[in-house]
Amino acid sequence: MMPPTQGTTTPDTTGIARWQMPSLVVGIIGLVACAIGWFLDPTAFFRAYLPGYLFWFEIVVGALGVLMLQYVTGGEWGILIRRPLGAAARTVGWMLVLFLPIALGMHAIYSWTDPNFVAHDKALQLKAGYLNITFFLIRAAFYFFCWILWAWRIRVLSLKFYQDRSPYTALSRQKWAASGLVMITLTLTFTAFDWIMSLEPKWYSTMFGINFFISAGLAAFAFVIFFLTRLADTPAMADILKPMHFRDLGNLMLTFVMLWAYTAFSEFLLIWYANIKEEIPHFLVREAGVWGFIAVLLIVFHFFLPFFMLLMRAIKDRPSTIAVVAVIVLVMRFIGLYWLTEPSYSGVHFHFSWMTLASLVGVGGIWLYAFIGQLKGQTIIPIHETWVEEAVREGALKANA
C-alpha cells in the first residue's frame, strides 16, 4: 500500500499483494499449456485462444470505460471502485502483448485471410478493402494506442491533482474522460466488428458493436464488485465498506444486465423479423443442439437470474451474496463469448477444447499479476479527493483520512 502522507497514520493493508506471484505462476503454467497446444495443433490453438483472450480483454477495456464514466458523472458509486478500475485499465498494454497470438494466427482464425476463399465469393471481394490483414492490424494498433493513451493520461492527471488540488486539473481530467467515452464507444464498436463479427465475414449486425460495448462494461462491474467483496473483511476495508456501497454497485450492475439483455434481444428480433439470408445463419447455427441449450442458459443465467437477484436489497447489501451474482455474470460472459466464437468454426456441432481453458487461465494469470502490480503501493480509496470523506460518510475512512 502507499506510504501515508504527512499527518496521516499508517493505513492497514488489504493483503492483495500476496496473490501477485501465485497469479504469475498460474499464468505461466497456462501459457506453457498453450504452447503445448500450439505445438500439437496450431490451428486449434489459435481458435481456442480467442475467447479466453476476449474474456479478460472485456474486463480491461470495460474498466477504462466505466472509469471515464465515473470521472464525467461523479457520484458516490465510484468512490470504492475508482482505483481498481484505474489499475485494470492501465493493464491494457499487457493486453497488447497478449494479442500477439491472435495477430500471428489470423490465417487460422479468420477465413477472409485466405485469398482462395475470397476469390470464390463476390461479397468478400467487395469487402476486401476493409477485411484485409494489413488494415486489420493497423486498426488494432490504433485501438490499442487510443486505449493506452487515455488510460495513462487520466492517470497522469490524477497524480497531478494529488499534488496541486487544482480545479483546472480536475476539469482537464474530466474533459479527457468525456472525450474518452466517445473514443471507447467507437473503438469497441469496430473492435467487435473486426475481432468477432468478421469470424463470419458475410454476417452483419448493426447492434453487435453496442452489445459488445455494454458487455465489456458489465464484465468490468462484475469483476470490481467481486474484487471488493474479497476485501470486505480485511483490516483496511472492514470499517469502510458499507451495505449502501454494495447496493449502489449492485444497482449499476443491474442496469448493465438489463442493457445487455435489451441489445441482445433487439439484435435477435431485428434479424428474425427481417429474415435476410445473410443474417439468419448466425442464429440458426446457435439455436441447434448443444448451442441452443447454451443459448437458453444465457437467457436464464445471464439475464433472468441476475436480474431477479439484483432486485433484492438483501442480496445487494451483503458481500457474500452479491459476490455470487458477480461470479454468475462473469462465468456467463465467458460462455457467451465462446457461444459467439466457436460455432463460426464447428457449425452446429458442439466442440470444446482444453486449450480454451489453458488460454483462459494463462491470460488470466498474467493479467491478474499485472493488475495487482498496478494496485500495489496505493490505497484502495482515493484519499486525495476532496469529496471522499462526505461520500464514505460517518468517518469511515478513519486511519486513511
The per-residue pLDDT for range 367-394, each reduced to its tens digit, is 999 999 998 877 777 655 554 555 555 4
Report whether 14 contacts 236 (CB < 8 A): yes
SS3 label, residue 13: coil
Average pLDDT over residues 100-129: 92
Q: What is the pLDDT of residue 400?
A: 41
For 15-26, the DSSP string reads -GGGGHHHHHHH
* Whether the predicted pLDDT of 10 surpasses 70: no
Comparing C-alpha atoms, which of 359, 399, 394, 378 is closest to residue 33? 359
Name the grid cell of 357. 481453458
Q: 172-181: per-residue pLDDT in tens?
A: 999 999 999 9
* Whether the predicted pLDDT of 3 surpasses 60: no
Average pLDDT over residues 97-102: 96
User: Within 13 Å and on the Cβ side, how many CA atoms surround 371?
Assistant: 29
